[in-house]
Amino acid sequence: KWANDNARGRVGGREISLVDPAQLHTITGDGLDPLITAADGSAILARARDRDLYILADPDIINNLAFATREKAAGAANLIDAIAEDADADGLAFDLTLNGFGGERSLLRFAFVPPFIGITLCLIAAGLLALWQAWVRFGPALKPGRAIPVSKAALIANSADLIRQARRELDGADAYVRSQRIAIARRLHAPGGLDDAATDRWIDKHLDAGSESFSSLARRLPLARGTHEFLEGAQALHDIRKDLLRDSQ
């Protein structure tokens, strides 16, 4: 049964009985006429004496808690109707501006209230940083360089990087030996009609005694088992080419 003798009163000619919430809010003060009172005499619903103002001290009487059961919802509706009759009002209006509804806000004011104030502060900070950067910068802005330089050296470097990233360094051993053989034979005017092995032996004749032969390096380089061994052999072939071509000048 939705009734409690501890909270009752007469509003608009109706007897109103309410169930006290677990923690009941009440109101007291001068200039108030209690309409519904709790057991201690404090007002749950009061009316101002100098104007048509009704104060409901505890919102649980007509909010979600009041609609927990059909009987409580009917009691809340009965209370609202009783207030309307007592005030001789044709209708009731609920002021929800404090809850964020119905109030008109300017765009500037809207930017400084949660949750948008965070974005506003970030924009202000970004503007200050941009201003500081423009203030401390000296001279014209530096133009960024080309991502891919235009030159033969850049082309060679990019090709080498591509081969290194693909981990195909060892696959170029035969081509490197062939390029060194052709360059040396052409510069030293090797006889025509020689095959690769004969050309290697002809190059060996131009090397100093005791130095490693070109033919042995040419055979060993394609058999390299690692990058370190490959680089050592390639450097040795390059040194032979450099020495022979320098001596031929």
pLDDT in tens, 149-168: 677 777 778 877 887 787 77
pLDDT of the residue at 128: 92
d(CA 239, CA 202): 17
Question: Which of the two residues, 183 and 140, has the higher pLDDT score?
Answer: 183
Q: Do residues 87 and 52 lie in contact, with contact meaning Cβ atoms separated by under 8 Å?
A: yes
In sequence order, the β-bridge partners of residue 15 are 10
Q: Is the model's pLDDT at 182 over the cut of 80?
A: yes
Phi-psi region of 100 (alpha: psi -120 to 50; beta: other; left: phi over 0): left
Q: Is the model's pLDDT at 126 over the cut of 90?
A: yes
If pLDDT is split at 50, 70 and 90, which confidence band does 125 have? very high
d(CA 178, CA 195): 11
Other beta carbons less than 10 A from residue 3's beta carbon: 11
Nearest to 78 by CA among 18, 26, 34: 18
Q: Do residues 43 and 16 lie in contact, with contact meaning Cβ atoms separated by under 8 Å?
A: no
* The dihedral sign for the CA sequence 26, 31, 37, 38: positive
Nearest to 172 by CA among 243, 124, 237, 108: 237
pLDDT of the residue at 105: 64
Question: Which of the two residues, 178 and 103, has the higher pLDDT score?
Answer: 178
